Amino acid sequence: MARAIFDYTKTVLKKVSFDAELFVKELKKAIQRLLPFEIEELRIWLIEFTVNKPELYVSLSVIKQ
């Protein structure tokens, strides 16, 4: 079940990546729902996902909090 939530979170973040503000909002919701080890996985995924998306770099500071 937890893995399904993690995968769903990545799907949602991919779909809202066109809007940095919405992306950060969804990321904050995800951090509240995920387990600590999943948050770490999400942080790694986020670094890879935002490599070519400089408008989403602000989201990196959200997940490091």
Per residue in 9-58, pLDDT (tens digit) is: 999 999 999 999 999 999 999 999 999 999 999 999 999 999 999 999 88
Q: At what angle do helices 20-33 and 36-49 cross, to 10 degrees?
A: 160
pTM over 0.75, yes/no:
yes
Q: Name which of 25, 59, 26 is nearest 43 in CA terms.
A: 59
Three-class SS state of 21: helix
pLDDT-derived band at 60 (thresholds 50, 70, 90) equals confident
Query: Residue 2: its pLDDT value, please?
Result: 62
Maximal CA-CA distance, the chain = 32
The residue among 60 and 14 whose pLDDT is bigger is 14
